């Protein structure tokens, strides 16, 4: 079965990227209210070096944004526990499990998980195999181009492919790069020319032109978008519309609904201060959407308001004026 089908107009399969912290349940629910993407990946569930995985697996809700499918992502390096976690997640109705080989955080890499797996292709292969062999659902890998440098790039993508994963998503920066230098789309093109399994291109897609350019330059099979979707939640609709020869026009009411859903999903036990900070974080991205908003970004980030309603009262007119 093709896991990455194009739409009837030839638009590649579009995936909302996992983004721990910013891209939480509130964000996914808000994005689902706008739609346009085919699937989302939940941010990683950390599989400990020892202990029980059942309670951790409960954090994954397969129908969270139904009818849009939500894949689970796991991160860890203990072969047995990774397999056990995958089984728990499969029981919870996941359509696929993604293995995180990219997280740059030192607390993660210090335990041999996330991007640390890229230091040892053989071990990466063993971890991936232990997950693949534990479940019936498809397993995929999301990886960076290397740890310190790209010297093991080819070995890593081949080790991933040989483990039996169904496709690879490549974010072409090393761990050391963090999010700094431009994503190396030439490495997506190189991986595409080497691999026989499908490849999802990811990194620095901020608009329709970027999406088209990545497809042209790399020939990747599908696209994953992270930060570009927080800056512009309509990006998936805009890309899709391009392929069917339409222009997608976002409405203010859609953006308002998005913000309403976001706010309504913030857990009720969170204090007003945390709610305001969460909203600020989201607004900090939306106010990168164009030069006009960018000019006002500092003022919306430094504004002091004691509750979300007061903050929105201040920020919404600026957003409406600048976004449309």
Active site residues: 103
Work out whether 22 is an interface residue with ligand FMN (CB under 6 A).
yes
Q: In this structure, what token pair is assigned to residue 313?
A: 């009262």
Please state, as a whole number, how many other Cβ atoms lie within 10 Å of the Cβ of residue 95: 14
Tokens of 283: 């607004």
Is residue 226 part of the contact set for ligand FMN (CB under 6 A)?
yes
Q: Nearest 5°: phi and psi at 63? A: -100, 25
Residue from 64, 197, 221 nearest 132 by CA: 197
Residue 227 touching ligand FMN (CB under 6 A): yes
Tokens 């290397």 sit on residue? 146
202 scored as a contact of ligand FMN (CB under 6 A): yes
Residue 225 interacts with ligand FMN (CB under 6 A)?
yes
Give the shortest CB-104-to-ligand FMN separation in angstroms: 9
Q: Which of 25, 28, 142, 184 binds ligand FMN (CB under 6 A)?
A: 142
Indicate whether 19 belongs to the interface with ligand FMN (CB under 6 A).
yes
Count other Cβ atoms within 10 Å, centred on residue 29.
16
Query: According to the binding rule CB under 6 A, does residue 21 interact with ligand FMN?
Result: yes
- Minimum CB–partner distance for residue 114 and ligand FMN (Å): 8
CA-to-CA distance for 199 and 169, rounded, in angstroms? 6
Binders of ligand FMN among residues 247 to 266 (CB under 6 A) are: none
Q: Does the protein bind ligand FMN through residue 180 (CB under 6 A)?
A: no
Residue 20 in the binding site for ligand FMN (CB under 6 A): yes
Residue 59 lies near ligand FMN (rule: CB under 6 A): no
Beta bridge partners of 143: 101, 170
Options 100, 145, 163, 210; binder of ligand FMN; rule CB under 6 A: 100
Q: Which residues of 266-297 are buried (b: 16+ CB within 10 A; e: fewer)?
A: beeeeeeeebbebbbebbbbbbbbeeebeebb
Instruction: Choose between 228 and 308: whose C-beta lies nearer to ligand FMN.
Output: 228
- 46/297 with CB nearer ligand FMN: 46
Give CA–CA dist 283/270, Å, rounded: 18
CB 119 to ligand FMN: min, Å? 17
Piece of the chain touching ligand FMN by CB under 6 A; list 146-154, 187-195, 226-234, 263-271: 226-234
Cα–Cα distance measured from residue 102 to residue 143, given in angstroms and rounded to the nearest whole number: 5
CB of 19 to ligand FMN, least distance (A): 4
Q: Between residues 43 and 88, which has the closer beta carbon with respect to ligand FMN?
A: 43
Q: What does the per-residue mask of binding to ligand FMN show for 284-303, with x meaning CB under 6 A?
A: --------------------
Q: Provide the 3-class DSSP secondary structure of residue 297.
A: helix
User: Shortest approach of ligand FMN to residue 268 CB, angstroms?
Assistant: 24
DSSP 11-66: PPEEEEPPBTTTBSHHHHHHHHHH---SEEEPPPEEPPSSS--HHHHTT--TTTTT
What are 293's two structure tokens? 């908003």
CB of 205 to ligand FMN, least distance (A): 5
Q: Which residues bind ligand FMN (CB under 6 A)?
A: 17-22, 43-44, 73, 100, 102-103, 142, 171, 202-205, 225-228
């Amino acid at each position: 079965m093709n896991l990455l089908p194009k739409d009837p107009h030839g638009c590649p399969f579009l995936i909302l990227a996992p983004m721990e912290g910013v891209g939480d349940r509130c964000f996914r629910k808000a994005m689902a209210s706008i739609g346009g993407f085919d699937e989302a990946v939940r941010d990683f569930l950390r599989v400990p070096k020892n202990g029980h995985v059942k309670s951790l697996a409960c954090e994954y809700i397969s129908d969270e944004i139904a009818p849009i499918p939500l894949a689970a992502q796991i991160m860890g390096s203990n072969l047995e526990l990774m397999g056990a976690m995958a089984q728990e997640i499969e029981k919870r109705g996941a359509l696929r499990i993604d293995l995180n080989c990219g997280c740059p955080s030192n607390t993660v890499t210090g335990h041999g998980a996330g991007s640390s797996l890229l230091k040892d292709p053989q071990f990466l292969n063993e971890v991936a195999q232990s997950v693949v062999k534990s479940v019936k659902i498809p397993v995929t890998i999301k990886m960076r181009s290397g740890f310190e440098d790209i010297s093991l790039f080819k070995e890593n993508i081949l080790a991933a492919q040989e483990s039996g994963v169904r496709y690879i998503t490549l974010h072409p920066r090393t761990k050391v790069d963090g999010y700094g230098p431009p994503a190396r789309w030439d490495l997506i093109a190189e991986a595409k020319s080497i691999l026989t399994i499908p490849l999802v291109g990811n990194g620095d897609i901020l608009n329709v032109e970027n999406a088209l350019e990545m497809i042209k330059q790399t020939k990747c099979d599908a696209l994953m978008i992270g930060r570009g979707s927080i800056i512009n939640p309509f990006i998936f609709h805009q890309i899709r519309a391009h392929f069917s020869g339409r222009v997608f026009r976002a409405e203010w009411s859609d953006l308002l609904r998005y913000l309403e859903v976001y706010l309504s999903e913030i857990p009720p036990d969170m204090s007003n201060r945390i709610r305001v900070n969460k909203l600020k974080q989201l607004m900090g991205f939306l106010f990168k959407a164009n030069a006009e908003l960018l000019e006002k970004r500092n003022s919306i980030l430094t504004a002091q308001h004691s509750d979300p309603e007061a903050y929105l009262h201040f920020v919404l007119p600026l957003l409406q004026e600048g976004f449309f």
